[in-house]
Structure formats: structure tokens, C-alpha cells
Amino acid sequence: MWIYILAWFPMVAIAIANGVVRDGWYGRHMRELRAHQLSTLIGVILFGIYIGAVMRFRSPASDGQAVGIGMIWFMMTLLFEFGFGHYVAGHSWRRLRRDYNLKAGRVWPVILVWVAVAPYLFCRIG
């Protein structure tokens, strides 16, 4: 299972690169909400490519293990989002929670769901 925990860390780099491109390029040419939504879609695609490669390289031993990997990645992502966002980036808890407001068009939870289910889905289709 440690290989999958270590495999989560490049997803941080993917997410940061995605945010840098959003803030430095297309986010300057559209409303912040649309940039957030586009960034989420791009994140789903990039994570899908990466997770698919990880699952092909090191296929989980069972469906249950794939579900466990997804749950671990979900928790690591959530903890990173709030821990790094608050304690390192200095964002308020309110600002961090804002990205979870689906009614306001904030679609960040889609990333969390994707990270949670993608290992299982790729394991099943792989």
C-alpha cells in the first residue's frame, strides 16, 4: 500500500501546476468562477491520465484494495487542501470551505470524488 501513498504526492505537483496555469493564463481572461470550473475540469483530466498510468503500472490486488487506495487519496487530498491552504498559504477556513459550495457553482468536490473513485474505475477497466 505504501507505493500508492507515495504515488499520491505527484498529484500535488499536478494540482499546483494546474493552479499556476489558471492564475497565470486563462484565469486572467474570464470570471473567477469560470476559471475555477475550467481548472476543476482540467484537474479531473490530468488526474485521470496520471491515475490511469499508476493503475496500469501497479494494478491493485483487488477491487477492495482499489477502493482503499481511493479512500486514502481522498483523505490525503482533503487534509492537504485544508492543512496547506490554512497553515501554509494562510487562507481562512471560510475561504477554504467556499470551494465546497456546489450551489454557488464551486465544483472542487468533483476533484475529491474523482480521486476517490478513479483507482477503482481504472482497476475495473484495466
Q: How far apart are alpha carbons 36 and 110 in whole angstroms? A: 12
Indicate the pTM of the whole model.
Answer: 0.93
Is residue 41, in this structure, part of any structural domain at all?
Answer: yes
Is residue 91, in this structure, part of any structural domain at all?
Answer: yes
Which pLDDT tens digits describe the chain residue by residue (126 residues)?
Answer: 899 999 999 999 999 999 999 999 999 999 999 999 999 999 999 999 999 999 999 999 999 999 999 999 999 999 999 999 999 989 999 999 998 999 999 999 999 999 999 999 999 997
φ, ψ of residue 107 to 5 degrees: the values are -110, 15
Is residue 3, in this structure, part of any structural domain at all?
Answer: no
Q: Which domain holds residue 21?
A: 8-125
Is residue 2, in this structure, part of any structural domain at all?
Answer: no
Q: How far apart are alpha carbons 87 and 105 in whole angstroms? A: 26
Number of domains, the chain: 1
Is residue 1, in this structure, part of any structural domain at all?
Answer: no
Summary count for the chain: helices (H), strands (E) = 5, 0
Is residue 22, in this structure, part of any structural domain at all?
Answer: yes
